[in-house]
Amino acid sequence: MNRAELISHIAEMTGQPKTEIGNTVTAILHTITGTMGRGDKVTLVGFGTFERRTRQARTGRNPRTLSPLRIPAAKVPAFRAGQELKDVVDGRKRLTGWSDPNPRKKESKPHAKPAKKAAPGKSKKTAKKRR
Q: Where are the domains of the chain?
A: 1-40, 41-95
> Who's near 24: CB < 8 A, 6+ residues apart?
none
For 129: left if phi > 0, alpha if psi spans -120 to 50, otherwise beta; the answer is beta
Residue 100's pLDDT is 54
Q: What is the structure's pLDDT at 42?
A: 96
Q: What is the architecture, at CATH level 2, of domain 41-95?
A: Irregular (4.10)
More confident residue, 116 or 30: 30
Sequence-separated (6 or more) residues with CB below 8 Å from residue 57? 70, 71, 72, 73
pLDDT tens by residue, 53-88: 999 999 999 999 999 999 999 999 999 999 999 999
pLDDT at 116: 60
pTM to 2 decimal places: 0.66
pLDDT at residue 110, as a whole number: 52
